[in-house]
Structure 1
């Protein structure tokens, strides 16, 4: 078993109880000790490790033990080929944990003569120019304030160049369409919690491999975009830590820091799980940061409006406010369950539709009930979107990396990607064609699905009803959707809690559901609204709600008389 002094020290601190680690870092240590450090064909490049630590200490700051621990694996190599064992690094920590500071020192070292690779260009990428310039500005200032460094680096406002290696360091925003042809040795992807998909990474990673020791760093604190790039990256990292995939198959090094559960945010000793800067003993920087975080925490006692942001950013635990959302993101993800389409074909189903506007979205689906489970198969849901609306709000016709609502990443919707996956159809029309909506259900019936009725609210169903009835469908119109919401909210919450809502792997339904705002009226009834009135569509969730309402009429579905209960409620 190989090791290195900084690795031994960090693990010793944990084993002897001097520091506290979250479960992902404990898994990391187990994986390293049982798999990686047992490999006989690898070695630590001690020259590079020590050179970087001394470089950082002299020109930036003294590295913390966890940063020295990380450094060792940045310079871990195979003996025969001298290739890097890890060429991708996921550094996932709470806000203030020093991600950018560490990266600043590291990229400055990479372009230096000490690293010793000519033309080892480094790019840092973020969604905003301000964030992209964070590390660049830190390196620029370090050079500008030290005459000794000025002898080795030319620093300009947009590029820093090594005199000896001719390597350059520059920053970019995530407009991926303009970055083809880069010849980088290293790319740092900052604020990865805001990346909507792989587009930016695909473009920048395409410039790697033209110089030796190519590396990619993915750094960030968690955020509010769900089902985006960071969720996929976390899944990938956990697969590695669970030892489901070998280092030969995936060379990502996952360093993940977060509290293990929500209750831990109330125990200050647990904060170090999310922010390793809070490992004892605290540096001067860490003491200042701790006071600031503690002040923010205490403020929550009188003003809870910052709760979601605090636990997501300071504790690095994505938080959905359950008083405002239908359910947590984890339970929305749990809707991705398998089902047997052939068995479902033997059952009755409800055709459900939300047709709230003629100019943006319509959602169709077939809902089945199996025991306590509500099943809305991904193959039997479909949305229609008017192209002018998709162009205006989601940049459908533009370059994918330039569009998708970059100004606010909580509301993104990759319409083109979902269309390519078959989840929706973009209509080149200003308004919806109701005949097209009806035809979808006719086609499903012709395929053999036993649709006992069509259900929707009264807003547009007066237009659709004669068209459906002309095709022989029974139609039920929900006259008061708010009353249906109030009645069904407890049932739907319980179904999500028990993992009894099944959509399959359907990103559009996850998006719809995550966009729902729950409000409580003066009588205590829960009503469903939108978290944002234009871009965050809820049509698919409302379609699901209407299907649940009408599912009382399905065979072998045991439910109380919903109409009697509704009459008894005070709206």
Structure 2
């Protein structure tokens, strides 16, 4: 039996559009159509359930009159909000999951539905609604949209008591408010519906349980979960996605959840712009005026990925609703590291930024100078290592294939012979070695070095060594150093990871990093794990704590933080230009 004939026109039209190839659906929406035919169709025929056509019509009419013209996929969703059991007139679905790429109209749809549920047309007095999100700013998105619509329409202002903290329908006494996900502030509420926005930020369902504890005290309670996917794995969003899949495949109670999920089916589809409709249903043909503007915006962001691939995770997650699997990966690929092995350009007299990483005085320290040459970042680096440490860890004095049963990780002796590191037979790596190297670069090699950047962790240990060598020590944002040589101490070096990551990774991807013959720098960089945190920020960590050192990369990163100050010019070029003035 073709159950589509028993469906309301809003459902029927959407299904027929798909069957005739007018719209493209991702796997989860194809499953949803199959689910509707398998689970809802027979129950409609047996009159176990029914769609309230009058409620559907009124809700759609209300939204299109006061808010915006609805797309067919939005009408399809609305129809299932008003699906009821025939026996007791209770709503079939208590929980709704709406996920799609950013810009797909999730918040706008929820704004319209919530506003309607407050009205006498819905027919339930004191049907209060809470909009919940991790931040007040996000929680207010739909609330503010409803507020603005009411403010712009005198007829609605007579119907609603419109306040900045709450909106109240004068006839039904129903109230909508926004709250943050601090569960302690909501225990015992008597809501008719709760909207959970930005669900990708929820690490567990603890706050959800608290916010819905009062549901059921009003007829036909509903929970709406809306958002795009995110970076928090094994948390609330993964659990509810798993629940959605069980519903769609018939492995749990049929009405546990109504899932409307739009996403790419495969990461490779992102390069076929015709598939973007799978993630964002606004992109069906013909495009509305809103969709045209959105399309141009997303295309522009996609094209920017060619120059800044570090934003790929954000683009895939937020625009395509498909988190990439490699939330942890190397900071640069093997091919990108091979590309750093190029000959240095002439650096004589050139402006540069110095940096060092001196995390542990008993093993490694790295120093370096960063130059700009055309589009390239040129990194001249050196390291200091303690003999006792490299003997024990890498078999420095007696090179062999294994050390303490483990494969040798670093050819320290070779790098020493190549001049890329200095082995110190001393209890610690003295700060004098660090400071003296920069003085030699400044005074003996003649590089135009004004600023050196370092982590605060060892600031006090090295401060005196630099001060006696005529460097002004400046803690970032504490004061403005006078003109002259300056050691700038970063107050929170970890915080710059997410700030510098786009520049660093774009430079590697564009093959604009030059390490010269220094294989030790390629080793340092290979040892770095780029990790994407739950909030979407990038941090750089070691792949392994003891043997895989990252000091050289961290020094390079600190210098890249100030790379915007660099000019592709030497001191000699400056004086040549001065002579041209006369």
TM-score bracket for the superposition, by shorter chain length: 0.5 to 0.7
Cα root mean square deviation, aligned: 3.3
Q: Are residues 87 and 323 of structure 1, via their aligned partners in 2, closer, same or farther at CA, if it must alter by over 3 Å?
A: closer
Q: Are residues 480 and 537 of structure 1, via their aligned partners in 2, closer, same or farther at CA, if it must alter by over 3 Å?
A: farther
Q: Give the one of 77, 80, 89 matched to 1:70.
A: 77
Q: Which residue of structure 1 lines up, in the alignment, with residue 277 of structure 2? A: 272
Q: Are residues 118 and 537 of structure 1, via their aligned partners in 2, closer, same or farther at CA, if it must alter by over 3 Å?
A: farther
Rounded to whole Å, the distance in 2 between the matches of 1:176 and 1:537 is 33
Answering whether residue 285 of structure 2 is matched by residue 312 of structure 1, we say no
1:91–1:256 CA contact under 8 A, matched in 2:
yes
Q: Give the one of 78, 84, 88 matched to 1:81.
A: 88
Q: Which residue of structure 2 lines up, in the alignment, with residue 295 of structure 1? A: 300
Q: Are residues 543 and 31 of structure 1, via their aligned partners in 2, closer, same or farther at CA, if it must alter by over 3 Å?
A: farther
Q: Which residue of structure 1 lines up, in the alignment, with residue 118 of structure 2? A: 111
Q: SS in structure 2 opposite 1:184?
A: coil
Q: Give the one of 174, 179, 187 matched to 2:194.
A: 187
Structure 2 portions without partners, runs of 5+: 332-358, 361-388, 394-402, 412-500, 509-514, 549-582
Rounded to whole Å, the distance in 1 between the matches of 2:10 and 2:260 is 15
1:505-552 alpha-carbon deviations (Å, 9 max, x no partner) = xxxxxxxxxxxx99999645532446389998989x859999xxxxxx
Write out aligned runs for 1:45-56 (5 A): 45-56=52-63
Q: Which residue of structure 1 lines up, in the alignment, with residue 287 of structure 2? A: 282
Rounded to whole Å, the distance in 2 between the matches of 1:266 and 1:529 is 26
Rounded to whole Å, the distance in 2 between the matches of 1:531 and 1:481 is 22
Q: Give the one of 210, 226, 238 matched to 1:219.
A: 226
Write out aligned runs for 1:337-486 (5 A): none
Answering whether residue 149 of structure 2 is matched by residue 142 of structure 1, we say yes
1:308–1:320 CA contact under 8 A, matched in 2:
no
1:257-279 alpha-carbon deviations (Å, 9 max, x no partner) = 00111111111111010000111
Rounded to whole Å, the distance in 1 between the matches of 2:247 and 2:179 is 30
Residue 319 of structure 1 and its aligned partner are, at CA, apart by 1.4
1:185–1:212 CA contact under 8 A, matched in 2:
yes
Structure 1 portions without partners, runs of 5+: 327-355, 358-457, 463-474, 484-516, 547-571
Rounded to whole Å, the distance in 2 between the matches of 1:98 and 1:49 is 19
Q: Which residue of structure 2 lines up, in the alignment, with residue 7 of structure 1? A: 11
Runs of 4+ in structure 1 displaced over 2 angstroms?
Answer: 320-326, 475-483, 517-526, 528-539, 541-546
Q: Are residues 68 and 300 of structure 1, via their aligned partners in 2, closer, same or farther at CA, if it must alter by over 3 Å?
A: same
Rounded to whole Å, the distance in 2 between the matches of 1:226 and 1:325 is 19
Q: Are residues 299 and 208 of structure 1, via their aligned partners in 2, closer, same or farther at CA, if it must alter by over 3 Å?
A: same
Q: Which residue of structure 2 lines up, in the alignment, with residue 389 of structure 1? A: none
Q: SS in structure 2 opposite 1:18?
A: coil
Rounded to whole Å, the distance in 2 between the matches of 1:532 and 1:121 is 38
Q: Which residue of structure 2 lines up, in the alignment, with residue 163 of structure 1? A: 170
Q: Which moved more, 1:52-61 or 1:295-304?
A: 295-304
Q: SS in structure 2 opposite 1:37?
A: helix
Q: Give the one of 203, 206, 211 matched to 2:213.
A: 206
2:167–2:175 CA contact under 8 A, matched in 1:
yes
Q: Are residues 530 and 264 of structure 1, via their aligned partners in 2, closer, same or farther at CA, if it must alter by over 3 Å?
A: closer
1:49-72 alpha-carbon deviations (Å, 9 max, x no partner) = 000000000000111000001111
The structure number with the bigger radius of gyration is: 2
2:330–2:528 CA contact under 8 A, matched in 1:
no
Residue 95 of structure 1 and its aligned partner are, at CA, apart by 0.2
Rounded to whole Å, the distance in 2 between the matches of 1:149 and 1:141 is 11
Q: SS in structure 1 opposite 2:219?
A: coil
TM-score where L is the length of structure 1: 0.60
Q: Give the one of 18, 25, 28 matched to 1:24.
A: 28
Residue 239 of structure 1 and its aligned partner are, at CA, apart by 1.1
Residue 246 of structure 1 and its aligned partner are, at CA, apart by 2.7
1:482–1:527 CA contact under 8 A, matched in 2:
no
Tell me the matched-pair count: 371
Answering whether residue 46 of structure 2 is matched by residue 42 of structure 1, we say no
Q: Give the one of 253, 260, 265 matched to 2:265.
A: 260
Q: Which residue of structure 1 lines up, in the alignment, with residue 558 of structure 2? A: none
